[in-house]
Amino acid sequence: MSFSSEKKNHHSQNPNPNPTSPLKKRGTRWSDLWLKHTTKSKPLNQMVVAAAMQQLQSLSSPRKSNNNNVNTLIPNFSIIDQTLLLSDELLLKILSKLPDSQRNSNSLVCKRWLNLQGRLVRSIRILDWNFVLSGRLIHRFPNLNHVDLIPGCLILTQSSNIFLSSNVLNMHIDSGSSPNWFFCEENMLPVEVIDNGLSALANACPNLRRVQVIGASEMGLLSVAEECPTLQELELQKCSDNVLRGIAACGNLQILKLVGNVDGFYGSVVSDIGLTILAQGCKRLVKLELCGCEGSFDGIKAIGKCCQMLEELTLSDHRMDDGWLAGVSYCENLKTLRLTSCKKIDLNPGLEEYLGSCPALERLHLQKCQLRDKKSVSALFSVCRAAREIIIQDCWGLDNGLFGFATVCRRVKLLYVEGCSLLTTEGLESVIHSWKELQSLRVVSCKHIKDSEISPSLATLFTTLKELKWRPDTKSLLPSSLRGISMGKKGGKFFKRT
Amino acid sequence: MASSSSNLISLKTSDGTVFKVERALAKTMKTVQAIIEEADANIYMIPIHNVFSHHMDMIIDYYKLSVAGKSKEFSVEKLDNDELKDFLLAVHYLNMEDLFEVLTQAVADRLEKKSVGYVRKYFGIENDFTPEEYAAIRKKNDWAFKGDDIEPEEDEEKQEE
């Protein structure tokens, strides 16, 4: 087909086209041109189709009556490209029903299929930044909703044998890396390049819903905000207060993850200034996750007061100033408060009467936190006293005394305790007895909770529960499928010390 | 069942056979419905191009099954690939939504997890990539993995039947 040869020439003549020119002609996308061409020639195709089908039919019906003479003619017709009979929409419908694993092989069938398959792709992870800058990304995949740019922003080193990972970021480094622990900063593309890529992407994909990027500046963010009004989910790594100035334009943003500081990778500061700008700009936020961010009571209070729809707040490895916990009570619609990997909660939360509490809170989730401090834990439970579900996983320092502060939460229906090695049955019991509405209890892998110490009253309470999962002596390192065959115990007898 | 002809529509397929179908069935064919609505008087016979009598038989079968609530029992397995394609085009021309969904799913099922070579053979598509382009795309499918595992390198000449 003539159009496909035009495309071929384009490829061979411009391996690295000027990044601005294909993007300025925003109205004519390659996919639009393709469609126009096929729809124009559709009547012609249909005529050809009708003629071809008549011939096919006249050949195939003799097949049914076993006419051997005609069989020699059939092979000629079998090489007609029958998908020309199918319009683009028909073929797209069929392609969309095929599994994702077949995507790569479908794109290799022919150029038209490459184009169509590309139109079905909605989500992509970029590994090569040139792919974005040169416009080839938009050419191949015009209908993107979700783009993860983070791997593309990091420069792959030549001999990347060492894989460095944290819970938010993974990258390869080589053994010649500098001794100060800021690996990411050295291996990242310059800010201008990242911004250019972001604006190229935004110009070409106005339907973007979800973007993840690292090291952008407010200019890049502004271009995304302006061109993509449907942007709902954003992850900004190496974020700072300045970058957040660009966020105010994303009016429809609902899910936001800001990563300021990751030990060993990079350090940037998100403080109250940034949080306040964020609060005033994105009033529709529903979920907010702050990793390694600084700030204090003022920032959290601003978010609480401005983002009325905020339902989920997650703080990961926070570096907030003491006293921030009281700000959480300003989040009137907050349903879930989650703290993960926090080295401290709030060493000086202030007086009990000024703490307040979150009226709509339903879930408190603590994971891998250090809970050693009395004031922090009591303030935390006090702010979350309306919680219905309390989940504590792998937290250090939670002993009976600290857990006792949880009696202030009167409405708890579900308690899930895992990996809290200082807690004993007695401590657990004294808290549970005060919770009249408890319906569901899960205790996993808490080594000081012993079955032998269950008192009769606790046992009676267990019978009233709707759900009980009692496995305190389980070693959680062993996957549950192996637990049943008690491998650890049986193997021991084969390896005796001699 | 009323004997008046207004309950039955006559459809003439491309090979000249005339089928009398109930109005309700004709209504599921949006193309036919549009022709009926445009005509002022009761139209005598509606010609439908691109549809042959064996297609019409299958359409009537499907209609009877779906009225009885057994549309899942309708199967196109006995059709070979070419016949399925023809049927799909006929149903697409007639613009029948439900049956069309069933047929596109049937084609997709036949193509599922098949190799590049098989798909080309199935549709009779010519490979219009030059060897360099082909290799470049093959290599570039590594620049972005979309969360799935990267496809294992497969021999494109391998036919999977």
Q: What is the pLDDT of residues A324-339, one digit of tens each?
A: 999 999 999 999 999 9
Q: Give the separation between CA A167 and CA B150, rounded to whole angstroms.
A: 23
DSSP-derived pairing of the beta strands B8-13 and B18-22: antiparallel
Name which of A240, A129, A263 is nearest A189 in CA terms: A129
Nearest CB to A114: which of B92, B137, B151? B137
The phi and psi torsions of A98 (rounded to 5 degrees) equal: -85, 155
Q: What is the pLDDT of residue A20?
A: 41
Closest-approach residue (CA) in chain A for B111: A98
Chain A contact present for B1, CB below 8 A: no
User: How much is the average pLDDT of A156-171?
Assistant: 75
Give the pLDDT score at A82. Answer: 62
Please give the pLDDT value at position A496: 54
Q: Which of A151-165, A290-304, A475-489 has the highest mean pLDDT?
A: A290-304
Per-residue confidence band for A33, with pLDDT thresholds at 50, 70 and 90: low
Residue type for A229, please? P
Give residue A126's pLDDT band: very low, low, confident or very high (50, 70, 90). confident
pTM for the whole structure = 0.70
Cβ separation B124–A86 shorter than 8 A: no
Q: Which residues of B touch A34 (CB under 8 A)?
A: none
Residue B39, token pair as written in the block: 């005509």
Per-residue tokens: B14 = 């491309």
Percent of chain A clearing pLDDT 90 (strictly above)? 31
Contact: A50, B111; criterion CB under 8 Å: no
Q: What is the pLDDT of residue A301?
A: 93
**Whole-angstrom distance, CA of residue A91 vs CA of residue B111:** 12
Q: What pLDDT, on the 0 to 100 scale, is given for residue A39? A: 45
Cα A85 to its chain centre, rounded Å, is 41
Tally of residues, chain B: 161
- Res A309 pLDDT > 90: yes
Top pLDDT among A402 and A45 is at A402
pLDDT score recorded for residue A2:
40
Residue in B57, B102, B146, B159 to test binding to A, most A beta-carbons within 10 Å: B146
In the prediction, which pLDDT does A7 show? 41
* A170-173/A162-165 β-pairing: antiparallel
Amino acid A8: pLDDT: 41
The rounded distance, in Å, linking the Cα atoms of A60 and A188 is 63
The reply to whether residue B85 touches residue A131, judged by beta carbons under 8 angstroms, is no
Please tell me if residue B120 touches chain A, with a CB cutoff of 8 Å.
Answer: yes
Please report residues of A whose CB lies closer than 8 A to that of B113.
99, 101-102
Q: What is the mean pLDDT of residues A375-394?
A: 93
Residue A415: CB partners within 8 Å, gap ≥ 6?
A389, A390, A391, A432, A435, A438, A440, A441, A442
Q: Which of B14, B125, B154 sits opposite A109 (nearest CB)?
A: B125
Buried b (16+ CB within 10 A) or exposed e, A354-379: ebbbbeebbbbbbbbbebbbebbbbb
Residue carrying structure tokens 């800010």: A191
What percent of chain A lies above the pLDDT cut of 70?
76
pLDDT in the model for residue A475: 61
Instruction: Give the three-class secondary structure for A246.
Output: coil
pLDDT at B137: 79
CB contact under 8 A, B50 and A53: yes
> Which pLDDT belongs to residue A482?
52
Whether residue A408 contacts residue A381, with contact meaning beta carbons closer than 8 Å, is answered with yes
Q: DSSP 3-state assignment of A385?
A: coil
Say yes or no for a CB contact (<8 Å) between A105 and B127. no
Residue A245 has pLDDT above 50, yes or no: yes
Tell me the average pLDDT across A286-298. 92
CA distance B115 to chain A (A): 6
A142-156, A284-298, B115-129, B139-153: least confidently modelled range = B139-153
Query: Is B107's Cβ below 8 Å from some Cβ in A?
Result: yes
Instruction: Kindly list the averaged pLDDT for each block of 10 residues, start to end, along chain B of length 161.
Output: 57 85 83 79 75 86 82 76 82 85 85 82 80 80 44 33 33
Among the partner-chain residues A57, A83, A97, the one whose CB lies closest to the CB of B123 is A83
Nearest to B123 among A82, A98, A102 (CB): A82
Bridge partners (DSSP) listed for residue A461: none
This model of the complex carries an ipTM of: 0.73
pLDDT for the residue A411: 92
pLDDT for the residue B126: 80
Q: In the prediction, which pLDDT does A152 show?
A: 84
Looking at the predicted structure, is the pLDDT value of residue A41 above 50?
A: no
pLDDT tens for each residue of A44-82: 444 454 455 555 544 444 433 333 443 444 444 445 566
CA distance A342 to chain B (A): 29
Give the pLDDT confidence score for residue A77 in this predicted structure.
44
Determine the average pLDDT of the residues in A419-428: 89
Nearest by CB: A100 against B114, B130, B148: B148
Question: DSSP string of B82-140?
Answer: HHHHHHHHHHHHHT-HHHHHHHHHHHHHHHTT--HHHHHHHHT----S-HHHHHHHHHH
**pLDDT-derived band at A261, boundaries 50, 70, 90:** confident
Dihedral class, residue A193 (left if φ above 0, else alpha if ψ from -120 to 50, else beta):
alpha
> Is B98's Cβ below 8 Å from some Cβ in A?
no
Nearest chain A Cα distance for residue B102, angstroms? 11
| pLDDT confidence of residue A162 | 77
Is A126–B143 a contact, with Cβ atoms under 8 angstroms apart? yes
